[in-house]
Amino acid sequence: MIKLYIMTRLDIRKYGDPVLRKKSKEVSTVNDVVKRLAQDMLETMYAAKGVGLAAPQVGMSSRICVIDIDPDKKSPIIMINPKVISGEGNVVDQEGCLSLPELFAGVKRFPNIVTEYTDINSKNKKVEARDLLARVIQHEIDHLDAKIFIDYLPDWKRKNIEKEIKRRKKKGDW
């Protein structure tokens, strides 16, 4: 039976929200609550023009993330309990985050990974990913481990970003 949900756009939590610093729990069963959350996360990610979104960014400490790097938004990937099981190489590229809007910085990541996760139909998947997809997967898994991309930056760079966030907060723009 196909269930139709009315999808809901969720609030995206911004940097500074304590939920982003809470480690997420494993999902034990892919039940309707998990499925619904994943669908709402996709809707939220598309509306925000993002390529990835992790559950803590919508206030849920569950190991779920959604990704779509396709400019036509036709290739959604829902990952439950995702893991990077191997990684190769080192590439620095610009990265951003829906929880830190309009802030970008270079982050070093594996350009080639093998990832394992459970899909929305409870099937275990093991897939290779490269380049942008590999980067987004690593970024989203970091969220599940309470890590944020600016954690990787040298102190001076991170402080500059934090200063900018403070400035925006003062303006009520955060």
From the list 102, 140, 162, 164, the catalytic residue is: 140
Decide whether 58 or 97 has the Cβ nearer to Zn ion. 97
Do the Cβ atoms of 158 and 150 come closer than 8 Å?
yes
Residue 102: partners with Cβ closer than 8 Å, 6 or more residues away: 96
Cα–Cα dist 33/39, whole Å = 10
Instruction: Check if 140 is active-site.
Output: yes
Smallest separation (angstroms) from Zn ion to the CB of 75: 19
| Residue count, binding to Zn ion (CB under 5 A) | 1
Phi, psi (degrees; rounded to nearest 5) at 150: -75, -10
Interface with Zn ion in residues 4-23 (CB under 5 A): none
Which residue number is nearest to Zn ion in terms of Cβ? 97
The residue type found at 86 is S
For residues 56 and 81, which CB has a smaller minimum distance to Zn ion in the complex? 56
Quick note: the x/- pattern for Zn ion over 73-102, rule CB under 5 A, is: ------------------------x-----
Residue in the block written with tokens 């994943």: 38
Shortest CB 66 distance to Zn ion, Å: 12
> Closest separation between CB of residue 143 and Zn ion, Å?
6
| Pick 2 or 73: Cβ nearer Zn ion | 73
Burial of 146-165, coded b for 16+ CB within 10 Å and e otherwise, reads: bbbbbebeeeeeeeebeeeb
- How many of the other CB atoms lie within 10 Å of CB of 128? 11
What's the CA gap between 123 and 119, in Å, rounded?
Answer: 5
CB of 78 to Zn ion, least distance (A): 16
Q: Which residue, 83 or 147, has its beta carbon nearer to Zn ion? A: 147
Site for Zn ion in 126-165 (CB under 5 A): none
Interface with Zn ion (CB under 5 A): 97
Q: Catalytic residues, which ones? A: 140
